[in-house]
Amino acid sequence: MRLSRITLLIYTISLLLFSCDRKDPNKQVDEGTLKGEIYKSREIGWEIRVPTGWSIVSKDITEQQEEKGQKAIEKSSGQKMDLKSLKHLISFQKNQFNLFASTSEPFKEDFSGQYEQTNKDLNALIYQTYVDQGIKVDSSSGKEIIQGIKFNTFYTTIYAPDGKVILNQILYSKLINGYDFGVNINYNNEEDKKTMIDAWKKSKFENRLKKQ
């Protein structure tokens, strides 16, 4: 089962404040390089500028929270998850509720349409995992063009018991260069949402990808 979108749960179930490594941010990514505010992924052919004043998420904290998300997914799906092939790309945050995370994972289609079907199945699993955790949630899915590339989108809104909105999430996913590439945006206010969306929409992809 495709696992890159497990980040949708990782940053939500615990809602812990992430730590940041200011000495060498390149140690916080599994693939790609960060020079100044510019992150580049060679495998995806993708480049994004980290917003000024936002912090790079520490990899060790990400991995700790990943374990919690993994256990929640396994409980809902009844399947064991293998995260060995999952790569953490750039992740940055304003605070615990406003966070941008990106991942990649190798994905080879055994038949036409397999990726799209797996995408739908995983959306359903994500929704059910929230429900199983006792979290009130609404969700919807669709498509969106980013820099000429059509991405799958999955929107969720997380509510408190009194009905107040706690968190909104937007998940983008696309099969690129043999990788399931995912971007997850968590936000609880419009200003920080705009900052992350602007950075994402202004990010760059290699020209050969725009024909996909």
Instruction: Tell me the pLDDT of the chain (212 aa) as tens digits.
Output: 444 455 445 545 544 334 444 456 666 677 889 999 999 999 999 999 999 999 988 766 665 555 555 555 566 666 666 566 788 899 899 988 899 989 898 999 999 999 999 889 888 888 888 888 788 999 999 999 999 999 999 999 999 899 999 999 999 999 999 999 999 999 999 999 999 999 999 999 986 554 44
Q: What is the pTM of this model?
A: 0.82
* Termini Cα distance of the chain: 23
Q: All domains of the chain, ordered by start, with CATH?
A: 4-211 (3.40.1000.10)
Pull the structure tokens for residue 118. Answer: 């797996």
